Amino acid sequence: MRWIMEFLQSVFEAIFGCRHSNLSRPFTIEGHTYKVCMDCSTQVFYSRETMMPLSRRELRQLRTAEASADIAMMPATAEARQAVRRKTVAA
């Protein structure tokens, strides 16, 4: 269902939305490089290596990689959980 909404939103934006032709210079803040549309304030993410806009696929992969890096896994066994607690108390 989500992909249907994304598809309809992209079609709507293509027909009626901003063309992002009036962009600022590139910014890199907190590890993200982007330009801002001066007409609609949309952030257009860029690759630092190529200085080309990221495709939706590349942007989705970037966000997925960042989200998976933030997840902390709980140890499976009770002994491992106690070892983690001891390390945090000692620190």
pLDDT in tens, 5-17: 888 888 877 787 7
> Percent of the chain scored above 90 by pLDDT?
2
pLDDT of 73:
63
Q: How far apart are CA 23 and CA 27, in angstroms?
A: 11
Question: Global pTM?
Answer: 0.51
pLDDT digits (tens, 9 = 90+) for 53-67: 888 899 898 888 887
Residue 71: the pLDDT is: 63
Gap between the Cα atoms of 48 and 62, Å rounded = 13
pLDDT band at 75 (very low <50, low <70, confident <90, very high): low
Q: Taking Cα atoms as reference points, which of 53, 52, 14, 18 lies closest to residue 38?
A: 18
**Pairwise pLDDT comparison (79 vs 5), residue with the higher score:** 5
Residue 74 to residue 19: CA distance in whole angstroms: 45
